[in-house]
Amino acid sequence: MRWIKFGIIGFLFFFAILTALSLLIPSHIRISKAVSLNQPPDSLFQLINDVSQWPRWHPALQGPQGVTWIEKNKAQLVRVVSTDSLVVFNWQQPGKQAVVNGWQLHRFNTADSVALQW
Protein backbone atom coordinates (compact mmCIF):
# COMPACT_ATOMS: atom_id res chain seq x y z
CA MET A 1 0.00 0.00 0.00
CA ARG A 2 2.84 2.33 0.85
CA TRP A 3 4.48 1.81 -2.61
CA ILE A 4 1.21 2.43 -4.41
CA LYS A 5 0.74 5.70 -2.54
CA PHE A 6 4.35 6.67 -3.34
CA GLY A 7 3.83 5.80 -7.02
CA ILE A 8 0.65 7.89 -7.30
CA ILE A 9 2.28 10.90 -5.62
CA GLY A 10 5.34 10.53 -7.87
CA PHE A 11 3.17 10.31 -10.99
CA LEU A 12 1.19 13.42 -9.98
CA PHE A 13 4.42 15.32 -9.26
CA PHE A 14 5.92 14.28 -12.62
CA PHE A 15 2.67 15.25 -14.39
CA ALA A 16 2.70 18.68 -12.69
CA ILE A 17 6.33 19.29 -13.72
CA LEU A 18 5.59 18.33 -17.37
CA THR A 19 2.51 20.56 -17.41
CA ALA A 20 4.50 23.50 -16.02
CA LEU A 21 7.25 23.00 -18.62
CA SER A 22 4.74 22.78 -21.46
CA LEU A 23 3.39 26.20 -20.51
CA LEU A 24 6.82 27.66 -21.33
CA ILE A 25 6.66 26.47 -24.96
CA PRO A 26 5.13 29.10 -27.28
CA SER A 27 2.04 28.17 -29.26
CA HIS A 28 3.24 30.17 -32.30
CA ILE A 29 6.75 30.36 -33.70
CA ARG A 30 8.02 33.25 -35.80
CA ILE A 31 11.22 32.88 -37.80
CA SER A 32 12.74 35.90 -39.50
CA LYS A 33 15.72 36.27 -41.82
CA ALA A 34 17.04 39.38 -43.51
CA VAL A 35 19.59 40.07 -46.22
CA SER A 36 20.98 43.31 -47.63
CA LEU A 37 20.92 43.53 -51.41
CA ASN A 38 22.50 46.09 -53.67
CA GLN A 39 19.60 46.18 -56.13
CA PRO A 40 16.90 48.69 -57.01
CA PRO A 41 13.93 48.27 -54.65
CA ASP A 42 11.41 48.24 -57.50
CA SER A 43 13.04 45.30 -59.31
CA LEU A 44 13.33 43.30 -56.05
CA PHE A 45 9.73 43.97 -55.15
CA GLN A 46 8.62 42.88 -58.61
CA LEU A 47 10.35 39.50 -58.05
CA ILE A 48 8.71 38.86 -54.68
CA ASN A 49 5.27 40.21 -55.61
CA ASP A 50 4.87 38.16 -58.83
CA VAL A 51 4.35 34.44 -58.07
CA SER A 52 5.28 33.50 -61.63
CA GLN A 53 8.80 34.89 -60.91
CA TRP A 54 9.30 32.77 -57.78
CA PRO A 55 10.87 29.76 -59.58
CA ARG A 56 13.80 32.05 -60.43
CA TRP A 57 14.77 32.48 -56.77
CA HIS A 58 12.56 30.56 -54.30
CA PRO A 59 13.98 27.13 -53.26
CA ALA A 60 10.51 25.60 -52.70
CA LEU A 61 9.80 26.09 -56.39
CA GLN A 62 13.13 24.67 -57.60
CA GLY A 63 12.80 20.93 -57.18
CA PRO A 64 14.60 17.96 -58.75
CA GLN A 65 13.16 16.72 -62.06
CA GLY A 66 10.74 19.67 -62.10
CA VAL A 67 8.83 18.49 -59.00
CA THR A 68 8.60 21.33 -56.53
CA TRP A 69 7.93 21.22 -52.80
CA ILE A 70 4.53 22.80 -53.44
CA GLU A 71 3.50 20.14 -55.99
CA LYS A 72 4.86 17.28 -53.85
CA ASN A 73 2.95 18.43 -50.75
CA LYS A 74 -0.14 19.60 -52.66
CA ALA A 75 0.27 23.05 -51.11
CA GLN A 76 -1.61 26.13 -52.23
CA LEU A 77 -0.52 29.74 -52.07
CA VAL A 78 -3.10 32.31 -50.98
CA ARG A 79 -2.19 36.01 -51.06
CA VAL A 80 -3.15 37.78 -47.84
CA VAL A 81 -1.57 41.24 -48.06
CA SER A 82 0.27 43.15 -50.75
CA THR A 83 1.46 46.73 -50.35
CA ASP A 84 4.30 48.70 -51.95
CA SER A 85 6.88 47.04 -49.67
CA LEU A 86 5.13 44.02 -48.09
CA VAL A 87 3.86 40.72 -49.53
CA VAL A 88 2.22 38.10 -47.29
CA PHE A 89 1.08 34.63 -48.43
CA ASN A 90 -0.43 31.62 -46.70
CA TRP A 91 1.02 28.23 -47.64
CA GLN A 92 -1.78 25.74 -47.13
CA GLN A 93 -1.41 21.95 -47.22
CA PRO A 94 -4.56 19.81 -47.18
CA GLY A 95 -5.55 18.93 -43.63
CA LYS A 96 -2.88 21.13 -42.02
CA GLN A 97 -2.82 24.59 -40.51
CA ALA A 98 -1.79 27.39 -42.88
CA VAL A 99 1.74 28.75 -42.57
CA VAL A 100 2.05 32.51 -43.00
CA ASN A 101 5.03 33.66 -45.11
CA GLY A 102 5.92 37.19 -45.97
CA TRP A 103 8.59 39.41 -47.44
CA GLN A 104 9.18 43.02 -46.63
CA LEU A 105 11.55 45.50 -48.24
CA HIS A 106 13.20 47.99 -45.90
CA ARG A 107 14.56 51.05 -47.70
CA PHE A 108 17.19 53.23 -46.07
CA ASN A 109 17.75 56.76 -47.37
CA THR A 110 21.42 56.86 -46.40
CA ALA A 111 22.36 53.39 -47.69
CA ASP A 112 22.87 52.17 -51.24
CA SER A 113 21.27 48.80 -50.45
CA VAL A 114 17.85 47.44 -49.55
CA ALA A 115 17.11 44.98 -46.74
CA LEU A 116 14.80 42.13 -47.67
CA GLN A 117 13.23 40.49 -44.63
CA TRP A 118 11.55 37.10 -44.83
The CATH number given to whatever domain includes residue 63 is 3.30.530.20
**What does the alpha-carbon distance between residue 19 and residue 46 come to, in Å, rounded to a whole number?**
47
Residue 50 falls within a domain, yes or no?
Answer: yes
What tens digit of pLDDT does each residue of 54-81 get?
A: 777 777 777 666 566 666 667 777 777 8
| The model's pTM | 0.60
> Above 80 in pLDDT, residue 114?
yes
Q: Stretch 22-35: mean pLDDT, rounded? A: 85
Q: Stretch 32-36: mean pLDDT, rounded? A: 87
What percent of the chain is modeled with pLDDT above 90?
A: 13
Residue 85 falls within a domain, yes or no?
Answer: yes
Residue 4 falls within a domain, yes or no?
Answer: no
pLDDT of residue 96: 82
Range of the domain at 58: 30-117
Residue 82 falls within a domain, yes or no?
Answer: yes
Residue 69 falls within a domain, yes or no?
Answer: yes
What tens digit of pLDDT does each residue of 79-108 get?
A: 778 888 888 888 888 888 888 888 888 887
In sequence order, the 6+-apart residues with CB closer than 8 A to the CB of 16 are: none
Residue 45 falls within a domain, yes or no?
Answer: yes
Residue 34 falls within a domain, yes or no?
Answer: yes
pLDDT of residue 99: 81
- Count how many domains the chain has: 1
Residue 104 falls within a domain, yes or no?
Answer: yes
**What does the alpha-carbon distance between residue 67 and residue 61 come to, in Å, rounded to a whole number?**
8
**Residue (of 89, 30, 96) closest to 60 by Cα position:** 89
